[in-house]
Amino acid sequence: MGVYARFKRNPDGFRALVELLETTPPSRRQRMIEVGMDEDPHYTELALKYVLNFKDIINLPDVELAEVMAKAPSRSLAYALNGQSEDVIKKFLRNSPNNIAAEIRDYLAINVGPREIGGAQIKVITIARELERKGLVRTKIIPAAV
């Protein structure tokens, strides 16, 4: 029995696989993708088509980004933005309430490492995915059945 068999059997399995790939650290994610490509390349490629990454969050329309900003903790947003261009940071700040924008600016002053940045980006992606399930974010909508 293959690794992906449990995802294929469950009606919500495809969504679970996509969300697992989104929330797995990059090194482990790559290993999961390799195993999946050996087992079922079509299913794996289809799942990867729907995986959200932080670049997808950056490119959300302002209204959808504002929804994510309203739900995400300021610290996570700031850490996720660490190392991004000034234009990206300005876009996020423009789409957040003034008090949250001030908190984000404060947290941006803190020097954080790649682990914290990656973890914060995963948290923001998880929040965006929750909003996608509610219909508030329309980027990379995972189909009900595959």
123 & 80 share domain: yes
Determine the Cα–Cα distance for residues 68 and 89; give it in Å rounded to an integer: 14
144 within a domain of the structure (yes/no): no
Residue 98 lies in a domain: yes
Give the chain's domain count.
2
Q: How many CB atoms lie within 10 A of CB 34?
A: 11
Residues 12 and 63 in one domain: no
pLDDT confidence of 113, banded at 50, 70, 90? Answer: very high
Supply the pTM of this predicted model: 0.90
pLDDT, residue 145, reads 67
H-state helical runs in 51-113: 54-58, 62-71, 74-81, 86-94, 98-108
Helix (H, G, I), strand (E, B) or coil at 127: helix
Domain assignment present for 140: no
Mean pLDDT over the full length of the chain: 92
Q: Does residue 3 register a pLDDT over 80? A: no
Does the pLDDT of residue 97 top 90, yes or no? no
pLDDT at residue 131 is higher than 90: yes
Q: Find, among 57, 55, 72, the residue nearest to 123 by Cα.
A: 72
Q: What is the pLDDT of residue 1?
A: 57
Residues 10 and 46 in one domain: yes
* Angle formed at CA 132 by CA 96 and CA 69, multiple of 5 degrees: 10
In a domain, 13, yes or no: yes
CA dist., res. 72 & res. 79, Å (int): 11
* Shared-domain flag, residues 21 and 78: no
DSSP-derived letter for residue 139 is: S
Residue 141: inside a domain: no
* Residue 74 in domain: yes
Contact in structure between 77 and 124 (CB atoms under 8 Å):
yes
